[in-house]
Chains A and B, each alone.
Chain A
Amino acid sequence: MVGLCALPLLRLFTEGADGDLWAALSDPAALAATRRTLVAGLGATALSVILGGAMALLVALSNPRFKTLLVFLLLLPMLIPAQISALAWLELTGPSSTVLGPLGLAPPPGTRNWLYSREGIILLMGIEHSTMVFLAVRAGLRALPADLVEAARATGAGPFTILWRIILPLLRPSLVAGAALAFVAAIGNFGIPALLGIPGRYTLLTALIYQRLSGFGPSVLGDVAVLSLILAALAGAGLLLQAIAKGKGRVAIASDGTTITPYDLGRWRLVVEALVWAVLMVISVIPLLALIGASLIPALGVPLTFANASLNNYATALGTGAVRRSFLNSAWLAGAAALITPLVAVPLAYAVVIRRSRLARILDTVADIPFALPGIVVSIACILTFLPPLPGLGVSLYGTAWIILVAYLARFLALGLRPAVAGMASIDPALEEAGRIAGAGPLRRLTRIILPMAAPTAAAGSLLIFMSAYNELTVSALLWSTGHETIGVMIFNLYDEGDATAASAASVLSVLATLAAAGAASLLARRLPKGVLPWQA
């Protein structure tokens, strides 16, 4: 565990410190990328706060119909990786759009897509990470005691006064925490800056690291290590802000367990519903329709009709050896990460929660770091650590699929650990003590008493890992090699080579696989502590 989570990052820090920091900082390209990363990151965060915050308030404080479906669609961007949503938006707004085309709204052929710009990056990242603000604000609203609002109502305050003077001030820590998370996610995003920023000549740090490493190979490792340290420092500042805000939120309010009753919107209900659905259509549904549309047309630029719609692109994509191989690669890599992680996460959670081991608590915190930091930082750290031959074995993991698996294990351990710890914490300590009274030794207590009760949360953690790893691009973009492409890499490469229809088909297939995993996790929902599955209403 230490080898996976802590060592590579330590290696990165020493390498970055060794590297010539001033040379890197006086490099105009690096400076420009840092400035752009901050501008785009802050812009996207502002959009995420407005979008995610407003939606969380509307869903929690009012009574629109079909709330479950609404929340699911709101959180859909979370289940769809950045490079696929970027692709979907490009298909939607491009000249060959299958959605805008029939309406006569598509730009004329040959027009440069306006998403290839700073504004495009901000828009898409803002939408993509609004889910983080939504979840943070919703959690804050759930922890808000209802009697605070009822006391304000009793004084005769109207709904807007209460929202402005009571609810929003109390939600400030949640809003700040959500905004900080959205910022960290935005500056670490790779799919959107890669698909929009590289053609748009608006290069962010993640894209710059990728360009340099794929252009010059491991010889520029010292240089990109410094770049990823800059990225890590920005992320660290965001995470620190989030930790402070979270701590404040906890001290400020003591919940009595009752949650705020939603306001009845009365005759405004229809207006609000129309507004919410319009937003949802734009951010979640229509881009996906465009993506599906693009996967069904024979060639780019051909309008989609009933007569020419076909699954040929799917057949072509799956018929290509490299694409088929990438699906298999992602399946086994994500599957292995999902199956191996609980073997570490469950005993560690047991040690943290039930045995209250101090060492385990430190490891628990360490496990959070690779998940919180941008994925590209983790992959640079992994290259630095595993490029030299393994001691004793004399082989290097770099250039094999194993380095991707190692990076997945490090990055997604936290995803398996959080549910395992939550599940363990919901177990009454007396249940384990009763096992001791019955004469059962530590191993039997773990296998017969703790594991059966922790199994649903461990399974949910595995599914979350699978969903995240199966579709990811950020980590594998730097670690893949020929023969060891992941789906994320394959979609990115297909699009890069101009085969947008095949890229769309592959994207639709991988999104379907993710949704299937999400569905499987939802089947477990009844047996999980609240909050393990973020998309559950």
Chain B
Amino acid sequence: MSKKVPAWQAVLRGLGPRGMALRIGAPVLALLISLGITMVLLRVTGADPVSSVQAMVDYGTTPNSVVDILNRATRYYLSAVAVAIGFRMALLNIGVDGQYRLAALLAAALAGALSLPAPFGQILTIVAAMVVGGLWAAIAGVLKVTRGVSEVLSTIMLNSIATGLIAYLLNPKRLAEMRPGSNNIATPQVPSSGRVGALNGALSAIGIDLPGRLYGLLPVAIVVGIVFWVVVNYTRFGFDLKVSGLAPGAAEASGVSAKKMIVVTMVTSGAIAGLIGMPELLGASYEYSLNFPAGLGFTGITVALLGRNHPLGIAFAAVLFAFLDQTSDVLQEVEVPKEIVGVMQGVVVLTVVIVYELVRRFEIRREQRAVAGELATGHDLARAGKGR
């Protein structure tokens, strides 16, 4: 076995595909390129790019914004982890969007009807959401393994079907009620025994005072991230998952059932997707209404790509996207349509994947050169490895 290289040396040397410099450098480079493109775009629209970005940063760092950004990032993070689980196995679960909305609606209806003592109501609601999300995703998984339907298309269709079902169920005749004085339709309010309090109290006890309400379920996102990391890196299941994604043939040969892995992965992804709506439902809105946050599943795909499906990378990406969304309103003041944020996000994804690909090619070329160089000098790699 070779001697263990200290981490800081590994960074400097940029060892192979696991080189930290490239791992962190590639996304940073991609973000810089995207920032450049955005600046040009702002310039074209007639705004001053530097002061616009400055205004976004100023607004984004006020305490009120920080709380909102963290809340948004919690939703994005859970959504991105749900997507990343699929990505790890080369499955693209575009259906996270439908899964979390359907799960949130049904869980909200359940929570509104429940009146259980404190921890049980919350736990039951969360479990119900995960079950609904998992089952809805399972449809796509089962269709893929039994009928060979691409999960990309089936989940897109399931999203539209979920939208229709939600419209059908969110009706005063069924699961919802009219809110007097507005056009809003919502499920019955979750009773106070079934809610999750804000995190502000716990934080002020350790000396951090924040305005507004920080999601009480924010720690759940952190736990999900840690569990995801441990499961993927340190368990048999995680290993099977990665192998099935990278080399289906090798996985099959070593006794991993590809079909089983696909269904299990989709169900897990859907169950995590079920969690996405929970911080908002139990910690802020207490009901599923027409105003419930929508489209989080698509943001999750982008965030997962940017974060390279790594729990920490996703966390950074989630905060970045939350920051962009939160601060887009400021741009209105300098006469720039806030939709420019959508352009930024698209540019980020495209730049990121292209830069990753270029870096990958660069690494392969460098390794080939290194191997060729060693061989040319007559240096026996295998023996040298043993000798060390």
Please say whether chains A and B are actual partners in one complex. no
